[in-house]
C-alpha cells in the first residue's frame, strides 16, 4: 500500500510579495510582478524587464554573517522554508530528525556568485576569490543549508532539471514518503538568475520578451501577441508529510498530493517534442499514478511560459490527455503574473495549486487579450474565478526535453 502524502506547510518569496498571503492576494487580484530590472543596469540588453523580488530583507531570515556567505538563491529558499515550517508548526528534533528530508529544485544555481567572483578574479587576481565561492554557487547548497538550519537529517538532495526542477523536487519528495524513506519532506524550488549573463544568454536564444515599454503586459501566455517569457526569481516551498504522521502530531492539512509524472522528449535541447507528445505522456502518468480519471480534474496550472511552441504544444497535449473534457477544464498560467522562475516555478506553482483547492479561487491568465487560434481552451482570462476545485494538475517542462507533472487533491479523511 502506498502511504498517503499530505501538505501541511506553505512558504513563498515571489515577485508578487514576501509570503504566501501577499503572493496569493496579488494573484487573485490579477496583478503583475514584472517591472524594469533594478539589480543591474540593463541599458545594453535587448530585454530590460524581469520579475524581481522586492522589499526582501535577508536578515529577517538569515544572520548577517551567513548572508555574506550565501548566494541569494539559497537565502530565498531558506526564507520560504522558514515560512513553511512555521505554517506547518513542525518541530524537528532528536526524535524525528533522521525521518525529515529536504529536496529542492534549482535550474542554474548561484549565477550571481559566479558572475561576481569572475569579475573579481579578472580585476584583482585569483587570490581575491573567496573560499566561500564554491559553497555559495553550487545548487545543492539550498537543500544543504536548509538541512543544517533545521537539523533535517533525512534525504538531502538537489534537483537540477531546468524549468522542471521544482516540480521534480516535489514529486521525488512525494515518492520518498510513499516508499517509507522519510516521514516529512521539505521541498520545492528556488531561482535567482536575473543577471547580465543569464539575460544575455536567453536573449541570444530569442526566448525573452522585449516588451520593455510595458513590462506588466510582457508575460502573456496563450495570447496571440506573446513574444517570449519573462525571467523571474524567488522560491516556493511545501512541507509534505505521511498522513499518519501528520494526524498523529495534530497537523493542519492543506491538501493531498496524489500523483506524479515525469517523462523525456528525446527530441531537442530546447524545443518541446511535436504536438507536445512528451508533455501528454507526463500528464497521463500523473493521472495513472493517482488513479484519477481525466474527468475528475477541475483545473490545470499550466507551464504556460508565454512562448510560441510551449503554449501551443501544451494546449495540444492537454487535448490529447483530456479529450472533450479539455473544454470543460479551467487552465491558467500564473506565470502571466509571477514571470518564469525557471527551477523555482514548480515550487511556487505547487503552493498556488494547493491554495486554489483550499480557497476555491482559480487565478487568472492576465494579458489574455488576443486569442491565438492554436490555443483555444478556457484560460481563465484576466479575472480570477470562484468555484469548487477538488483536483488540480500542475505542469512544468524544461530544456533538454524534461517534463514533470503533479496532481493535487482536496484532502478527505
**Active site amino acids:** 163, 303, 340
Q: Is residue 252 a contact partner of residue 89, using CB atoms and an 8 Å limit?
A: yes
* Residue of 390, 305, 307 whose CA lies nearest to 346: 305
Q: Is residue 259 a contact partner of residue 293, using CB atoms and an 8 Å limit?
A: no
Contacts of 359 (CB under 8 A, 6+ apart): 24, 28
Q: What is the DSSP string of 256-284?
A: EEEEEEEEE--S-SSSPPGGGHHHHHHHH
DSSP annotation of 18: E
> How far apart are alpha carbons 312 and 133 in whole angstroms?
41
Count the alpha carbons within 13 Å of 285 in the hemisphere toward its beta carbon: 17
The label of the residue with cell 487535448 reads 319
Range 229-250 burial, b when 16+ CB lie within 10 A, else e: bbbbbbbbbbbbbbbebbeebe
- What is the chain's length? 413
Strands 17-18 and 5-14: antiparallel
Residue 126 three-state SS: helix
- Does the CA dihedral 87-89-94-96 come out positive or negative? negative
Query: In the chain, helix, strand, coil percent, each to 5?
Result: 40, 20, 40
* Residue of 85, 116, 115 whose CA lies nearest to 102: 85
Amino acid at each position: 500500500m502506498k502511504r498517503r502524502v499530505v501538505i501541511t506547510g506553505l512558504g513563498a518569496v515571489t515577485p508578487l510579495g514576501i509570503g504566501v498571503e501577499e503572493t496569493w492576494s496579488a494573484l487573485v487580484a490579477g496583478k503583475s510582478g514584472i517591472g524594469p530590472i533594478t539589480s543591474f543596469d540593463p541599458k545594453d540588453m535587448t530585454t530590460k524587464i524581469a520579475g524581481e523580488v522586492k522589499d526582501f530583507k535577508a536578515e529577517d531570515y538569515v544572520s548577517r554573517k551567513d548572508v555574506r556567505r550565501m548566494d541569494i538563491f539559497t537565502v530565498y529558499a531558506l526564507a520560504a522554508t522558514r515560512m513553511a515550517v512555521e505554517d506547518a508548526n513542525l518541530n524537528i528534533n532528536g526524535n524525528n530528525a533522521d525521518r525529515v528530508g529536504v529536496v529542492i529544485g534549482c535550474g542554474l544555481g548561484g549565477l550571481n556568485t559566479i558572475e561576481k567572483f569572475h569579475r573579481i578574479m579578472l580585476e584583482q587576481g585569483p587570490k581575491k576569490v573567496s573560499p566561500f565561492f564554491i559553497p555559495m554557487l553550487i545548487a545543492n547548497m539550498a537543500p544543504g543549508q536548509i538541512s543544517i538550519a533545521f537539523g533535517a537529517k533525512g534525504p538531502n538532495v538537489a534537483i537540477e532539471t531546468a524549468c522542471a526542477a521544482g516540480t521534480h523536487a516535489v514529486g521525488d519528495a512525494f515518492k520518498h514518503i510513499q516508499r517509507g524513506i522519510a516521514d516529512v519532506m521539505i521541498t520545492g524550488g528556488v531561482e535567482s538568475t536575473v543577471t547580465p549573463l543569464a539575460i544575455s544568454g536567453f536573449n541570444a536564444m530569442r526566448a525573452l520578451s522585449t516588451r520593455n515599454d510595458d513590462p506588466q503586459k510582457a508575460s502573456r501566455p496563450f495570447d496571440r501577441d506573446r513574444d517570449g517569457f519573462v525571467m523571474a526569481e524567488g522560491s516556493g516551498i511545501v512541507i509534505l508529510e505521511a498522513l499518519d504522521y501528520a494526524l498523529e502530531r495534530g497537523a493542519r492539512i492543506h491538501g493531498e498530493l496524489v500523483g506524479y509524472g515525469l517523462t523525456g522528449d528525446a527530441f531537442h535541447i530546447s524545443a518541446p517534442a511535436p504536438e507536445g507528445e512528451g508533455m501528454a505522456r507526463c500528464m497521463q502518468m500523473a493521472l495513472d499514478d493517482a488513479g484519477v480519471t481525466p474527468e475528475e480534474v477541475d483545473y490545470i496550472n499550466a507551464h504556460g511560459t508565454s512562448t510560441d511552441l510551449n503554449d501551443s504544444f501544451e494546449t495540444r497535449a492537454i487535448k490529447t490527455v483530456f479529450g472533450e473534457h479539455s473544454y470543460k477544464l479551467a487552465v491558467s498560467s500564473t506565470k502571466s503574473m509571477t514571470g518564469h522562475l525557471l527551477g523555482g516555478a514548480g515550487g511556487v506553482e505547487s503552493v498556488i495549486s494547493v491554495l486554489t483547492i483550499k480557497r476555491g479561487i482559480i487565478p487568472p491568465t492576465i494579458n489574455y487579450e488576443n486569442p491565438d487560434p492554436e490555443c483555444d481552451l478556457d484560460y481563465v482570462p484576466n479575472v480570477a474565478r470562484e468555484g469548487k476545485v477538488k483536483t488540480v494538475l500542475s505542469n512544468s517542462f524544461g530544456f533538454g526535453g524534461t517534463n514533470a507533472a503533479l496532481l493535487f487533491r482536496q484532502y478527505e479523511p
